[in-house]
Amino acid sequence: MARKDIPGQASLVFDVALLDLHNPKDGISIENKVVPENCERRSQSGDFLRYHYNGTLLDGTFFDSSYSRNRTFDTYIGQGYVIPGIDEGLLGVCIGEKRRIVVPPHLGYGEEGRGNIPGSAVLVFDIHVIDFHNPSDSISITSHYKPPDCSVLSKKGDYLKYHYNASLLDGTLLDSTWNLGKTYNIVLGFGQVVLGMDMGLREMCVGEKRTVIIPPHLGYGEAGVDGEVPGSAVLVFDIELLELVAGLPEGYMFVWNGEVSANLFEEIDKDGDGEVLLEEFSEYIHAQVASGKGKLAPGFDAEMIVKNMFTNQDRNGDGKVTAEEFKLKDQETKHDEL
């Protein structure tokens, strides 16, 4: 309204709708909506949070929501990656907590605003913390049950059969072998599961039940698994170990259970022609395993092990092993053969 349009000595009437107000000295305001009873650790500077939020102005006008994108907002806190008000407001939260954070403009988007956020606007964020972790975190193991005899503990090379439920920290179920009706089987320490699970299955006895919490850098990382595991998610595995087959000493794929024959090459070379072919070698090794005189590393393809053993012995690569080529492992340690 131009001043020239206002008559002199006129009384003016203004209808005002107060959108918000703040004082430059204001800090953020936090209102706790839901705080879980069990809160083992609160977030601190340097943690990586995954959270959902709805963002509105003080009058309720909507401006943004992570829910509409169907994925969490993920960030380090206390490090300046988000606006100062949120950086501060996300400190000291529990996993699963819901809180409202009111942010004055000088701790938000300032006088300029951003996108559909007006300049100098007070912002309201309704936050739901899904999970958080610290890059220095290791796995967490909680044992719920151990059988009376828990003396044989799992180690690298053992073949394990186990059941698990996999979920997020908010309880969302990701996968379950119980639902599938079959165990998950691995050789421990050979990269067949994520590193956190490999760590979580160690020193476990048959019949034991435990919960393993795995931070993303020991799980599926920032990428996650498309359509299955969200990126940067902390994972919870409830595990029951059902069977353990002891592995071989490290570096061995086959061992003898007793004394090795002094005439081993001659026993393998049944036709006595001074040359052992793969078929002869394979037949002999499998016979030793069947009779209990030898043992192959459990959980691996037996034929592949035998073929690798033969290849190690066939030093000139001509498809046959001679007496001159043939050596036991303790005679030449760089090979994983007999």
Q: Where are the domains of the chain?
A: 29-133, 140-245, 254-328
Does pLDDT of 52 surpass 90? yes
> Of all residues in the chain, what percent carry a pLDDT higher than 70?
93
CATH code reported for the domain at 140-245: 3.10.50.40
Does pLDDT of 72 surpass 60? yes
Predicted pLDDT of residue 327 = 82
User: In degrees rounded to 5, what are phi and psi of residue 49?
Assistant: -105, 145
State in Å, rounded, how far the first CA of the chain is from the last one: 98
DSSP string, 292-307: TSEEEPTTS-HHHHHH
Query: Using 50, 70 and 90 to split pLDDT, how confident is the model at 10?
Result: confident
Predicted pLDDT of residue 333 = 45
Which residues are CB-contacts of 122 (< 8 A; sequence separation ≥ 6)? Answer: 20, 21, 22, 57, 58, 102, 103, 104, 105, 108
Whole-structure pTM value: 0.82
Q: Distance between CA atoms of 64 and 115, rounded to whole angstroms?
A: 10
SS3 of 177, please?
helix
Q: What is the pLDDT of residues 80-105, one digit of tens each?
A: 999 999 999 999 999 999 999 999 99
Predicted pLDDT of residue 338 = 56
CATH class of residue range 29-133: alpha beta
The C-alpha angle 139, 141, 144, rounded to 5 degrees, equals 160
Length of the chain: 338
Q: Is there a shared CATH topology between the 29-133 domain and the 140-245 domain?
A: yes
Mean pLDDT of all residues in 208-233:
96
Angle, helices 302-313 vs 278-291, to 10°: value is 130
CB of 265 closer than 8 Å to CB of 326:
yes
- Higher pLDDT residue, 108 or 325? 108
CB of 333 closer than 8 Å to CB of 283:
no
Q: Which CATH number fits domain 254-328: 1.10.357.10, 1.20.950.20, 1.10.238.10, 2.40.340.10?
A: 1.10.238.10
Please give the DSSP secondary-structure letter assigned to residue 244. E
Mean pLDDT of all residues in 284-294:
94
User: Counting beta carbons within 10 angstroms of the beta carbon of residue 176, is it exposed (0 to 12), middle (13 to 18) or buried (19 or more)?
Assistant: middle
Query: Average pLDDT, whole number, for the chain?
Result: 91
For the chain, what is the radius of gyration of the CA atoms? 33
